[in-house]
Structure 1
């Protein structure tokens, strides 16, 4: 089976599953995100070569945070602080060597990507006029990211000349990044027509700019982590698509930005 065929096969079951979970929302979406955050945190700890009890605590906290965000959002900050505190108290009991670095890595597994991705729960559970509106908005964001990535890839291959970040990601170019933004903007115009009861075209365009800039920066940040760890992918759980972090890096970056954007609009 070729890599392309394998990629399509994963997408054929993965995309419908994601769409169904997002549209249903509620506890199911929070549970789905909890699994994603556990897997992503585990990949993050492998990248940082972390181990021990603090890592186990970090993975558990990373998985519980989206659930707390859904069932008791007012407890979220306290839960996050408690998780980091427990990690801080656990680390010195093993060894003092590189304590600050180990603490940063262990706490980082909760903050990135779990805290960032958990903002999706707040968006999905927002004060939308109808329950499914939150799901439609998330699908708009997910599609914008996919179109941006696809346009950036093919635009970069066809016209890419100037390297965007040669040390971090040698294959990415300025031309590809611009094509990514254009692709996201094109999608925003279409999505704005469909989402008229929820978002206007100008609001979708601003969302496209968030995806085209912050999303691509999030992708670069994850590439920097992989480059520093000397790996190509964060994992292989998704086959040719790589690891969970590889698929959710841009989404983790844009999730909090979209939350505060929608908060400013009075939608969540």
Structure 2
């Protein structure tokens, strides 16, 4: 098992978040790890039209949604403790088993998550509220692995500039019960990147882009599930939000539609490479 990077002492974090969090700096050199071996039903995939749209939310709204095993990986913005939640839409392309690279599937997906620290290991991670998937393969994660995944029809309308690296237009329409989306982004006329609550840009990017383990509540038995991913340092660039409506965030009481027009940050990358280590594991307790 690989050594995990340690977060702040959980007791100190809970007791004095305002004083312990703003000074921390994260570096990719401390978090990049060699790719673990792949086998069996581990999945290789490329994520196209990859975006991370992040919002700052009052910490108390989020703490009630995560199990006691985890603590919110909060930041301080304007003197207030905030948790961060992200919507992460993309299109899986060349989605295939690592050991048997055939067939190659294509499917739209959107993940909804918040950032946490595992009290048992100190590892930074994400807690998944849910995922929308546009694929006939949905019954496997939803019913066999009991992940909080739901069906949705995701339609991307995207255009890159002449360099092929920056978006002139990025639009997403998702039709899904309880998780519909209207999203419009661009990388034209983007102001200088600013990441409130973080010591510097690299700290923000490690935090937002490089958690390699995700946890979730299993749908039927109430246990916690977990799975790991691997990727190299992502080459995301800032984007600008033109319009957003994430019904899931509204339904959960985290963000009104009006609040969704003011993200903490927007990050975008035309395509990247991921490995997903499946199947998820079940943890015995919280």
Q: Give the alignment's TM-score, normalised by structure 1.
A: 0.24
The structure where helix makes up a greater share of residues is: 1
The structure where strand makes up a greater share of residues is: 2
